[in-house]
Amino acid sequence: MRFVKMHGLGNDFIFVNGFEEKIAERDYSELGKKLCDRFFGIGGDGLVFILPSESADIKMRIINSDGSEAEMCGNAIRCFAKYAYEQGLVDKTKITVETLAGIMGPELILENGKVVAVRVDMGEPRLNREQIPMLGEPGQVVNEALEVDGNIYMITTVSMGNPHCIIFVDDALSFPLTELGPKVEKHTSFPRKTNVEFVQVVNPSEMIMRVWERGAGNTLACGTGACATLVAGVLTGQTDRKAKVHLAGGTLEIEWAENNRIYMTGPATHVYNGELDLTLI
Ligand code: ZDR
C-alpha cells in the first residue's frame, strides 16, 4: 500500500489515497492503530483516507491513533487539501471537503505555484451542551465548574464538529497536561469523550495552547482545538475575534468572522512518500 506522510505544525498524519488503494472500510480502525504506532508501524497522530464524495469535491475520513474515528481534524484537512491539489485529485484552489462534521472549505494559498499555507472555512462553532456532547442542563457551557479528583476546574466547551473542553490556565507551558488531560478526556460528563485544551491568554490577540487530544494524547498541535480556543476566548471576554494561537508545533491564525464561521490559516508540510507491505504488520 502506498502512503504519504505529512504534518500540520507537527501534528502528523499518514495519508492513503483511496482513489488508488482499495482498503475495506471495516479495516480502517485496525489499520489506524497499527500504522500510527511509532514503534511497530509508520508512526502518526492519525490515519487519513482520501475518498470520492457525492456531496462535495472530495471526502476525508480520519482515524485517531487509538483506532477511534474523529469527525474532523483541522491540521489534517490543510494537508489533505495540499495533497489533493498537488496530486491533481482536484483542479481548483478552493475546494469542498466532506467530513463527518459537515462540509469544510479549504483554500490553498499559492506562491510561485507552491502551496505555502491553507485557509480553511471550518464552519460554525456549536455551543449548546447537547451538541458537544456534554451531560447536564441545556445551554452554553462557559466558565462552568468541572470536578476532577476533588479539584474544581473552570471549563468552556465548544464543538467544531468534534468536542473540545477549554481550560484557561496561568501558565500553559508548565501545566501538568499529561496528568489532567486524560482524566478530562474520559470524564463521565462527556459521553463521546473530549479533546482538552490548556490555554494561556497572552493578550487579546494571542494565546498559548497545549492540547491533550481525544484518542491520540499529547500532540504538538490541534487545528480544531485552536478554533475552539478562539471561540472560548471570545465567549469568556478575554480575546478579540481574530487571534494567533501558539502551539507546541507552531502558530495558527484563527478568525471568528461576523458570518459566524471560523477561518483557520496555517501551513501544511509534505514529509515523504512510502510503500508498505500490509502483510508484514
Ligand atoms: C485535534 C486535531 N488533531 C485537529 O487538528 O483538529 C483533530 C484530531 C481528532 C481528535 N483527536 C478527535 O476529535 O478525536
Distance 224 CA to ligand 1 centre (A): 6
For residue 79, is pLDDT > 90? yes
**Is there an atom of ligand 1 within 6 Å of 99 CB?**
no
How deeply is 139 buried, as exposed, middle or buried, from its count of CB atoms within 10 A (0-12, 13-18, 19+)?
exposed
Give me the catalytic one of 73, 79, 165, 227.
73
For residue 281, is pLDDT > 90? no
* Residue partners of 171: CB distance under 8 A and separation at least 6: 200
Distance 72 CA to ligand 1 centre (A): 6
Query: In angstroms, rounded to a whole number, what is the distance separating the alpha carbons of residues 192 and 164?
Result: 11
Q: Which three cell numbers mark 50? A: 482520501
Give me the catalytic one of 36, 79, 165, 222.
222
Catalytic (active site) residue 165: no
Q: Is the dihedral of CA 269, 275, 277, 278 positive or negative?
A: positive
Q: How confident is the model at residue 137 (pLDDT cuts 50, 70, 90)?
A: very high
**Is there an atom of ligand 1 within 6 Å of 65 CB?**
no
Catalytic (active site) residue 222: yes
**Is there an atom of ligand 1 within 6 Å of 157 CB?**
no
Question: Contact 58/90 with Cβ under 8 angstroms?
Answer: yes
For residue 275, is pLDDT > 90? yes
Distance 182 CA to ligand 1 centre (A): 14
| DSSP category for residue 94 | B
pLDDT at 125: 98
The rounded mean pLDDT for the chain is: 97
pLDDT at 280: 80
Q: How confident is the model at residue 162 (pLDDT cuts 50, 70, 90)?
A: very high
Give 190-235 pLDDT, tens digit per residue.
999 999 999 999 999 999 999 999 999 999 999 999 999 999 999 9
Q: What is the CA radius of gyration of the chain?
A: 18
> C-alpha dihedral over 130, 63, 187, 260, to 10 degrees?
-40
For residue 100, is pLDDT > 90? yes
**Is there an atom of ligand 1 within 6 Å of 70 CB?**
yes
pLDDT above 90 coverage of the chain, percent:
98
**Is there an atom of ligand 1 within 6 Å of 44 CB?**
no
For residue 34, is pLDDT > 90? yes
pLDDT at 279: 87
Query: In angstroms, rounded to a whole number, what is the distance separating the alpha carbons of residues 192 and 133?
Result: 7
